[in-house]
Amino acid sequence: MRENIVRAFQEQATSAPVLGRDVAATSDLPDLLASLYTRGRAAYPKLAVSEQAFGRCLARAMAAPSFQGVDTLAVADLYLSCACAENVRGAPAAFETRFAKIIRRAASRVLPTRDEREEAEQRARQEILGPGLAGVAPRIGEYLGQGPLDAWISVAAIRVAISLGRSESAERRLREKALAEATGIDPERLNLKEEVRREIEPAVAAAIAKLASRDRLIMGLFLVSGMTLQEIGKSLGITHQAVSKQLAKSRDQILNDIRATVAERLRISTDELMSIMRLVASQLDGSVSQVLGKS
């Protein structure tokens, strides 16, 4: 067994120069890899992942920039993800037993109707377990053993649900909630002329689209799924303070984009623009303060 896993590990490692030399060249590498394989197999004795396949998985995990040492690897979860990526006999059933409720809960946080949730659940399974682009392994093969696989699956499923929702009703909800909660702007309450109200809502939607994908994900998890700062932080492997700061940063970016859009599209005076933005900023500050107060 040791020869097989070591050979596969080293072959994979040659294409991963980030891999630490202290791991790749350590004299007790055979014992280390054999020990990790034994731990994974003990956690899932019915899943016969080959030594070669797990050796490659270990090499990819240790080559990742996020790798912080063998002691930090979620070995059992990495073994299960490897079994799923390799389509090992029994792996789909083990996946369903372990993650069905997690995927269902993720979809229910985002989508309001049963049909939408069921479709999102099926799409999540297909995206996580199904093949990617031609010649690319299933997406679950991207899991690298950093943090619990439960959280990785939850985030992946929520991404799918949000993506599905955007093409249907969740996009409308995201715009509406972003309008009132992310920036504090409520078109029904703003005492502004109709022309300005017509510009602000699409400006918010456009500003959200400009955010980085991770920032949009955080905003979606908070506004659409109703997750707390702590829950988001746990799912993404960051602190809830970091989530709060990122939400504030995203909202600042949205506010700046709104200002630029309104100024460009509406030929209004500087005083009018400043008046509008003072109102927006004052409501934005209140919204951000409310979020930070929950941290």
Calpha distance 30→62 (Å, rounded): 15
Say how many C-beta atoms besides its own lie within 10 A of residue 92's C-beta.
14
Q: Closest by alpha carbon to 142, among 182, 126, 132, 251?
A: 132
Calpha distance 226→174 (Å, rounded): 12
Please give the domain boundaries of the chain with CATH numbers for all domains.
Answer: 2-85 (no CATH), 92-159 (no CATH), 170-293 (1.20.140)
Q: Name residue 127's amino acid.
A: E
Render each residue's pLDDT in the chain as its tens digit; 295 residues. Answer: 577 888 888 888 775 554 544 455 555 888 899 999 999 999 999 999 999 999 999 998 988 877 888 888 999 999 999 999 998 999 999 999 999 999 998 888 878 788 888 888 998 998 898 764 445 568 898 899 988 999 899 888 888 888 776 555 545 555 555 545 444 544 444 444 455 556 666 776 677 778 787 887 887 777 656 677 788 888 888 888 888 888 878 878 877 887 787 777 666 566 666 666 655 454 443 333 332 233 3
Handedness of CA 80, 85, 86, 88 (dihedral sign): positive
193-229 in b/e form (b: 16+ CB < 10 A) is eeebeebbeebbbebbeebeeebbbbbbbbbbbebeb
Q: Closest by alpha carbon to 87, among 125, 137, 21, 121?
A: 137
pTM beyond 0.85, yes or no: no
Residue 95 burial by Cβ neighbours in a 10 Å radius (0-12, 13-18, 19+) = buried
| Pair 241, 295: CB distance under 8 Å | yes
Q: Which residue has the tokens 């702007």?
A: 185
Instruction: Kindly state the tokens that stand for 159.
Output: 């991404």
Tell me the β-bridge partners of 88: none
Instruction: Kindly state the tokens that stand for 71.
Output: 């002691």
Give me the helices (H) in the chain, please.
2-13, 21-24, 29-43, 51-63, 75-85, 91-110, 114-129, 149-166, 170-177, 194-210, 213-223, 229-236, 240-265, 270-293
| Pair 199, 273: CB distance under 8 Å | no
Instruction: Kindly state the tokens that stand for 263.
Output: 């100024």
